[in-house]
Amino acid sequence: MSREVRHLIGVVAGLAALPLVYYLTEAGARALRAAYATFRPAPVGLGYLTAVAAIVVLLAAWSWLSPLAALACGLPLTAVAALFAFDLDVALELAGRLPSFAVPVGEPPGTLAGVTGLYAVIGVLLVLSALLPRGRRSILGG
């Protein structure tokens, strides 16, 4: 497979993973918040965040072929995290325009995960996995 094809597939994979990571992270954060508020365990929240971790591992593992998969997902998440950190009003307005899936009324998607820094952690990890030297990008790499 040529380098260009690998890079194109990497970009497509990263962009396809972006909404999954965004919404699953928010769902996990909301489930954890609900469990914390009711003093109950949160297996659903753990499940959502485990799914996010699996996607992140797959994207990081892909970076031994093409770092663009991790960058295509990680850079927008890092930008979202920066927006939540530096201009919460703009972040909330933009998040309010996104489609919401089972998000409580009045709470834009991504709000809880954005203000708690989950997007920053995930995005920075993905970007770092893409920027590491080729032999150190992934435990799966050579």
Using DSSP, state whether 101 is helix, strand or coil.
coil
Q: What pLDDT does 3 receive?
A: 84
For residue range 130-141, what is the model confidence (pLDDT) as tens digits?
A: 887 665 544 444
Return the C-alpha torsion angle 109, 113, 116, 121, nearest 10. Answer: -140
Q: Are 72 and 10 a contacting pair, CB within 8 Å? A: yes
Query: Does residue 82 register a pLDDT over 70?
Result: yes
Predicted TM-score of the model (pTM)? 0.85
Amino acid identity, position 71: L
Band (pLDDT 50/70/90 cuts) for residue 102 is low
Q: What pLDDT does 134 receive?
A: 61
Tokens of 61: 């593992």
For residue range 19-78, what is the model confidence (pLDDT) as tens digits?
A: 999 999 999 998 999 999 999 999 999 999 999 999 999 998 877 678 899 999 999 999
Angle at which helices 43-62 and 68-86 pack, to 10 degrees? 130
Q: Are 60 and 126 a contacting pair, CB within 8 Å? A: yes
Q: What pLDDT does 108 receive?
A: 82
Contacts of 139 (CB under 8 A, 6+ apart): 61
Nearest to 126 by CA among 82, 79, 60: 60
Tokens of 4: 């260009």
